[in-house]
Amino acid sequence: MSKGKIEYQSHLAPSGKVLLNLLNIELTALKQCQIPPWRLAHYRAVKNWLTKYVPSPNATNLEKIRFLLESFHHLCEVEDWERARATITICLNTPTNEELHNQLNTWGYYREQFDLYNRLINNLADLNPIILIGLGEALNALGNYDEAIHFIMQGLEAAKATGDRVVQKSALQGLGGTYLLRGDYDRAIQSLQQSLKMSSGVKDLESRRNALENLGKAYYFGARDYSKAIECYQQSLELARQLQHSMGEGAALSGLGSVYLALKNYTKAIDYLQQGLTIAENIQNLQGKGATLGGLGSVYFFLKEYDKATQCQQQRWEISREMGDKRGEGEALGNMGMIAHRQENYSEAIDYYQQSLIIAQTINNRQGERSAFAFLGKAYYDLKEYTNAVECYRNGLAVAQAMNDRLWQGVNFIPLAQAYLALGELSQALECCQQSLAIAEEKNHYEMSLIALSILTNVYRDSGDNSQMIRSLVRAGGTLSKIIFTNLWSKLNRYSPT
């Protein structure tokens, strides 16, 4: 049935009369079947919700489609699972034209989306892998990553059994996204590249767009390969515009903004993030709006525009709380801690960091846990509470080791060495410097080497070992020369005469 011929209720869903016809619910026929009164009461409730519910003029999106959710749950009570499934697969009249169950995710109503899938999961005769994957992605949004992987893997196996390559690609992308949030970047990239290889056909443009978007995230967050991240986001953006996929376009723009923020190109970062924010607001994508506001807040933080930064992070926190997005809530709290920290409000910063840490540990967000420990360590160090700083840095190091993130381990050893040096524990400081230097050499990270060597010089100075101190200074000079040469060479390579 074409959308133009359907009468819509509350401007979002088909009218009750149309829905009753679509669901083939006729009370007179049900009475003739002599069904028990309690079952008939549930069907009557469905009819009443579909035909008599009128939301208030200022109702939220959730309230506007409340009649569909209530009808779904009444159908579940009488174990009419097929009609229940049909109810949540009704397409809504929204900018993204999604089915109800997917639209809940776009709006950020993850708990409600989870409740729908959870009631169907063990009750459908033919368990649709899409529902398994959907349940996994809802759990993913709620921060239950291990359970999310379990259900998405079930969906993947079910799709393989039926030879459904479209759903297989969707499952691989869901796995990639979940591994990404868990900080398991190698598995994320592996899953996403596998999905990308399966998306080479003309009809696979949407699948390819989504895989490229998530690969951009993986290269940005995990591999820290910003050129590859930009390449993936740009390709995803072009496909989104070609497909007129507003949500994908907004996500790619925001992703590009995040990469340019990391590259300290703040003008480009703001431009891309503002474009992404406008699209998120236009299509009522709360999750995208919250994440983009967080990115803008980070840009204003580095520009030292702390009032604007606080406003953005506060809005992101409020949106995340409304959605039940614990990861977004924790990230917003951590960012507000950084703003307070930068303004030397250490007690306030520590309070924000600790709230962020608790959330990260609750949802098994190892990346967030690692960052919270690092920020807490720095706050305690600035307060000259060096013992507390050491404890935080060591906890953060343990998380980085569990993640097998060698680069972060190398970075983490540096402030840990500084804290030990401040406590006068020179042997411990020396060991941390040497560990950081070994990783820096392994990763060809000259900046890390330079910082570690500067601390090592102070360790030898305090221990009275002047010969080793001079050797460290000489090594630092050589490393500085490498940094200068590398930067110069990079600039020369970017120069292309016309």
Q: Which domains, and CATH codes, for the chain?
A: 215-312 (1.25.40.10), 405-498 (1.25.40.10)
Q: Is 226 exposed, middle or buried (0-12, 13-18, 19+ CB in 10 A)?
A: middle
Q: What is the pLDDT of residues 260-288, one digit of tens each?
A: 999 999 999 999 999 999 999 998 888 89
pLDDT at position 312 is 97
Half-sphere exposure of 349 (CA within 13 A, CB side): 21
Torsion of CA 213, 217, 220, 224, to 10 degrees: -110
Q: Quick check: helix, strand or coil at residue 301?
A: helix
Q: What is the mean pLDDT of the chain?
A: 88
pLDDT at position 8 is 47
Q: Quick check: helix, strand or coil at residue 324?
A: coil
The candidate with the shortest Cα–Cα distance to 459, out of 435, 484, 494, 441, is: 435
pLDDT at position 489 is 52
Concatenated DSSP letters of 379-434: HHHHTT-HHHHHHHHHHHHHHHHHTT-HHHHHHHHHHHHHHHHHHT-HHHHHHHHH
Mean pLDDT of 362-375: 88
Element (H, E) at 203: none
Mean pLDDT of 167-196: 89
Here the tokens at position 354 are 């600790």
Dist CA 384 CA 196 (whole Å)? 50
- First vs last C-alpha separation in the chain: 57
Mean pLDDT of 229-250: 95
- Computed on alpha carbons and rounded to an integer, the radius of gyration of the chain in Å comes to 27
Q: What is the pLDDT of residues 392-432, one digit of tens each?
A: 999 999 998 987 788 889 999 999 999 999 999 999 999 99
- Longest Cα pair distance anywhere in the chain, in angstroms? 100
The answer on pLDDT for 125 being more than 70 is no
Q: Beta-carbon neighbour count of residue 201 at 10 Å?
A: 10
pTM of the entire predicted model: 0.72
Dist CA 468 CA 474 (whole Å)? 10
- With contact defined as beta carbons under 8 Å apart, do 281 and 247 qualify? no
- With contact defined as beta carbons under 8 Å apart, do 66 and 77 qualify? no
pLDDT at position 184 is 81
Amino acid identity for residue 72 in this structure: F
- With contact defined as beta carbons under 8 Å apart, do 100 and 14 qualify? no
